Amino acid sequence: HVPLGYSRLYANPAVNWCYTSEPEPHLNGRRLFQPRGKVLGGTGAINGMIYMRGQPEDFDGWEAQGCAGWGWRDVLPYFKSCEDQERGADEFHGTGGPVAVSDLRTRHTLGEAFHAASEALGIPRNDDFNGARQLGTGYVQTTTRKGWRWSTASGYLRGAAVDNIDLTLNAMVERILVDGKRATGVAWTDRSGRKQADARREVILCGGTFNSPQLLQISGIGPAERLKQHGIEVVHDLPGVGENLQDHFGIGAEYRSTSHTTVNDLYNNPLRGGLQLARFLLFRTGPFADNGNYSNTFICSGPEIDRPDMMVTFMAWCTDESLKPRPFSGFTILAEHMRPNSRGHVRITGPNPTDQPAIRFNFLADEADIEAALAGLKFGRQIARTAPMSDNVDHEITPGDKVTDDADLIDYCRSAGLSLLHPVGTCKMGIEEDAVVDPRLRVHGMTGLRVIDASIMPRIVTGNTNAASIMIGEKGAAIVLEDARG
């Protein structure tokens, strides 16, 4: 629950499923680590806590694709109703909701330099990426309250939920039970054995982008030929289940810093780290009350792009692949492509829920995605070379000052690029043939079965995906109630 401590959850099997992708064909065959929450609150209980909704055009785009009721004017009330905004209520924000949204507790020396350098490059200051516009540079907000992480479990599993929900822990859902084309319940196992729950009205699946399509497939709902390959009886041939996987692609440049104010300095100096931990425990301020990802600069990756599609992030650390800080002062400027064209999939590898699904993103399969990643990496390096940010740079560690040729930079993207851990889309909402759920989140061709989680996004949002996932839960709950009353 200490915000900066989330790096300790990144590969912790006690709270994390620790998935990995299949070899990525356009990233030199590398497998990408995929942490997924194995804890109340899901991945939102182990994530980086960034609260970023996306742009109005994202949701208007959903509506234009046939997702009636999911335009910006329709979803904004649910963003507001779930929010308890530290700054107070206004046109874009709400208070009193279950999701605490707060400013970072402290300003950061390098964050201020990052903003000033971005402004020197012509980017305006923006103090609210969830407000009137996303373009600009500024600090992020996080799902924290008074210096502590605030997950959906913290916000929702209290009050009326205590009486309204029977919560079963340490349970693994085996399959959805069906009678013909109707979902009738679920079967699961816990430490006492196999169990079954029968649904009086309907089953609501909220397994997330990897496990919702997996559970549908092992229950016989999905592409018929693939199910037969694993000996699964086909209940309903639905080709789109597990397809349309999307994620944000990130490529970072690392720097050795002359300013000894980074997370690396806390990690490598026990006295300094101990003093800052004491500061957090006493006052809930300082670097332990923040997540280390302080600042964003939103830009357009090219002149033909009409709204920001690239998020350049200042991270107050540089680490090895296991997230262990390097033994010197360092930071990272990470370029993140927010509207990729490349599509992947999630497919079962066996008939059991414990068989990890095959996850493939196909990052950089599309040429436009390569151009965007290259533009973002170049702009991030430009920020580092612009005062006052440049005043804090000793030298660039990776890709290194000598790497300037586009071909070499693209090779660097393939060898060092990462998933931003924002997977969506594998139970696509829509009215097309490849859609899995309709705009009421009902599984096409089935009755009594809905999916309500990030997997239903037809296209990924231009921002971190946790906020939009929570909104989907809020709006999905309202839809269920509306249909029940109707």
Give per-residue pLDDT as tens, 65-90.
999 999 999 999 999 999 999 999 99
pLDDT band at 320 (very low <50, low <70, confident <90, very high): confident
> Is 117 in contact with 389 (CB distance < 8 Å)?
yes
Q: Side chain identity at 14, as an amino acid letter? A: A
Secondary structure (3-state) at 99? strand
pLDDT above 80 for 322: no
Rounded Cα distance between 154 and 3, Å, is: 14
Give catalytic status of residue 260 as yes or no.
Answer: no
> CB-based contacts of 385: which residues, under 8 Å, 6+ apart?
393
What's the pLDDT score for residue 7?
Answer: 86
For the chain, what percent of residues have pLDDT higher than 70?
A: 100
> Is 322 in contact with 474 (CB distance < 8 Å)?
no
Catalytic residue among 93, 115, 422, 444: 422
What's the pLDDT score for residue 125?
Answer: 98
Q: Which fold has domain 1-102+140-200+425-486?
A: FAD/NAD(P)-binding domain (3.50.50)
Backbone angles phi, psi at 404, to 5 degrees: -130, -25
Mean pLDDT of 420-432: 98
What are the structure tokens assigned to 16, written together? 């994390």
Q: Where are the domains of the chain?
A: 1-102+140-200+425-486
What's the pLDDT score for residue 159?
Answer: 80
> CB-based contacts of 328: which residues, under 8 Å, 6+ apart?
256, 264, 268
What's the pLDDT score for residue 162?
Answer: 84
pLDDT, tens digit, for every residue of 285-314? 999 999 999 999 999 999 999 999 999 999
pLDDT above 80 for 219: yes
What's the pLDDT score for residue 398?
Answer: 96
Rounded Cα distance between 37 and 18, Å, is: 9
Mean pLDDT of 447-465: 98
Query: Across 303-440, where does the E strand assignment appear?
Result: 310-315, 330-337, 344-347, 358-360, 393-398, 418-419
Q: Per the omega criterion (within 30 degrees of 0), is the bond before 399 cis?
A: yes
pLDDT, tens digit, for every residue of 159-211? 888 888 888 999 999 999 999 999 999 999 999 999 999 999 999 999 999 99
Mean confidence (pLDDT) of the chain: 96
What's the pLDDT score for residue 28?
Answer: 98
What are the structure tokens assigned to 213, written together? 């399509």
pLDDT above 80 for 321: no
Rounded Cα distance between 37 and 35, Å, is: 7
Closest of 292, 338, 294 to residue 318, by C-alpha: 292
HSE-CB of 171 using CA atoms within 13 angstroms: 19
Mean pLDDT of 137-161: 94
Rounded Cα distance between 121 and 18, Å, is: 39
Secondary structure (3-state) at 463? coil
pLDDT, tens digit, for every residue of 337-353? 999 999 999 999 999 99
Rounded Cα distance between 42 and 155, Å, is: 13
> Is 36 in contact with 16 (CB distance < 8 Å)?
yes
For Cα atoms 461, 463, 464, give the angle at the middle one, nearest 5 degrees: 105
What's the pLDDT score for residue 161?
Answer: 85
Eight-class DSSP state of 66: T
pLDDT above 80 for 363: yes
Most distant CA atoms of the chain, gap in Å: 68
Secondary structure (3-state) at 125? strand
> CB-based contacts of 263: which residues, under 8 Å, 6+ apart?
4, 287, 292, 316, 317, 325
DSSP characters over 270-288:
HHHHHHHHHHHHHHS-SGG
pLDDT, tens digit, for every residue of 382-391? 999 999 999 9
Strand 249-257 and strand 99-103: the pairing is unpaired
What's the pLDDT score for residue 418?
Answer: 95
Secondary structure (3-state) at 193? strand
CA distances from 236 to 155, 218, 222, 307, 448 (A): 36, 11, 7, 40, 14
- In a 10 Å sphere around its CB, with 0-12 CB exposed, 13-18 middle and 19+ buried, how is residue 225 labelled? exposed
> Is 82 in contact with 98 (CB distance < 8 Å)?
yes
